[in-house]
Amino acid sequence: MAIRSFSERTLTAEVLRRVRRAPDARLRQVMASLVRHLHRFVREVRPTPEEWFQGIRFLTDTGHWCDDRRQEFILLSDTLGVSMLVDCINHGGGGAATESTLLGPFYVDGAPRLPMGSNIIRPGTPGAPCEVSGTIRNARGRPVAGARIDVWEAQGDGLYDVQKPGGLNARARFRSGPDGRYAFRCVRPVSYPVPHDGPVGKMLRATGRLPMRPGHLHFRIAAPGCETLVTHLFVRGDPYLDSDAVFGVKRSLIVEFRRNRNGEYAARYDFVLRTAAKKTSRKKP
């Protein structure tokens, strides 16, 4: 059998030819596109072997920083705008429904289940007391009863519970009431830096970027017949709304956190869930 050699001009076509052997149609499509774009990137940048190894070492270091408390690859995806691009592609339909944004790296499945109106903050947690309330409705404007609401946030020191000892805090799971209403107590969200002591932080510094996120509350809302909503509520007036390190801010999600009669903060937001799309089989490319 003749041994073939490849050049800069012929190598990509051979890699694509071999990728086409993949039995799964979607995998063939994804891998072929990846090869084309990756080879095009290399031809454009024309890295030296030392530069290419530096890139490989960066990805290796990113993986080494991942564990059950921190996902550096999600952070990398977020700070490069890829996570928001995926969100825009899949949930950018517009309309009256509440806009989505990033899940983020600090979601924890299995948060404490609390009755409506509870405080998600343990005593002694830093931060200004706050109450958040509103309604959850479907695309027809009808209240959604029993919607599962996951909420989580950074504490008043800018850290999430998984970033510090002491167990779960500043997160909970609720069910909306028969009238679609929800309410809980928390601390007023504060702006904070994304973790920047690892490879992603080095990337941000090298590119002259700030690691800051504006203050926000995370929500994940799920209900039968509705599309699961992953979103934030941002604090109006936060100085980092226009420079969010992960590109997650949307105007419709910016909310006033005002002081109430007791001198505590309060915010209200009414969520609208999209109707779940009927599942269809993906067409072969």
**In this structure, are 37 and 167 located in the same domain?**
no
What pLDDT digit, counting tens, does each position of 94-138 carry?
A: 678 999 999 988 999 889 999 999 999 999 999 999 999 999 999
**In this structure, are 126 and 57 located in the same domain?**
no
pLDDT: which is higher, 136 or 67: 136
User: Residue 226's domain spans which residues?
Assistant: 84-272
pLDDT greater than 90 at residue 4: no
Q: Of 164, 171, 161, 63, nearest to 109 (Cα)?
A: 171
**pLDDT at residue 69, as a whole number:** 79
- Angstrom distance (rounded) from CA 207 to CA 209: 6
What's the pLDDT band for 186 if we cut at 50, 70, 90? Answer: very high
Which tokens go with 25? 């149609």
What is residue 67's three-state secondary structure? strand
Residue 173 included in any domain: yes
**For residue 35, how many other CB atoms are within 10 A of its CB?**
17
Residue 76 included in any domain: no
Contact call for residues 101 and 219 (beta carbons, < 8 A): no
Residue 223: give its domain's CATH number.
2.60.130.10
**In this structure, are 119 and 39 located in the same domain?**
no
Residue 70 included in any domain: no
Residue 115 included in any domain: yes
Q: Of 231, 216, 214, 224, nearest to 270 (Cα)?
A: 231
**In this structure, are 110 and 165 located in the same domain?**
yes
**In this structure, are 41 and 143 located in the same domain?**
no
What's the pLDDT band for 2 if we cut at 50, 70, 90? Answer: low
**In this structure, are 43 and 169 located in the same domain?**
no
Q: In terms of DSSP bridges, do strands 212-213 and 192-193 run parallel, antiparallel, or are they unpaired?
A: antiparallel
Share of the chain above pLDDT 90, in %: 85
Q: Is the dihedral of CA 138, 141, 143, 149 positive or negative?
A: positive
Residue 78 included in any domain: no
**In this structure, are 60 and 90 located in the same domain?**
no
Q: How many domains does the chain have?
A: 2
**In this structure, are 89 and 24 located in the same domain?**
no
**In this structure, are 92 and 126 located in the same domain?**
yes
Output the average pLDDT for the chain.
94
What's the pLDDT band for 285 if we cut at 50, 70, 90? Answer: very low
Q: Which residues pair with 137 in a beta bridge?
A: 143, 272
Contact call for residues 23 and 284 (beta carbons, < 8 A): no
Give the side-chain half-sphere CA count within 13 A for 167: 7
Contact call for residues 152 and 121 (beta carbons, < 8 A): no
Residue 75 included in any domain: no
pLDDT: which is higher, 173 or 91: 173
Query: In the predicted model, what is the mean pLDDT of residues 245-254?
Result: 96
**In this structure, are 59 and 92 located in the same domain?**
no
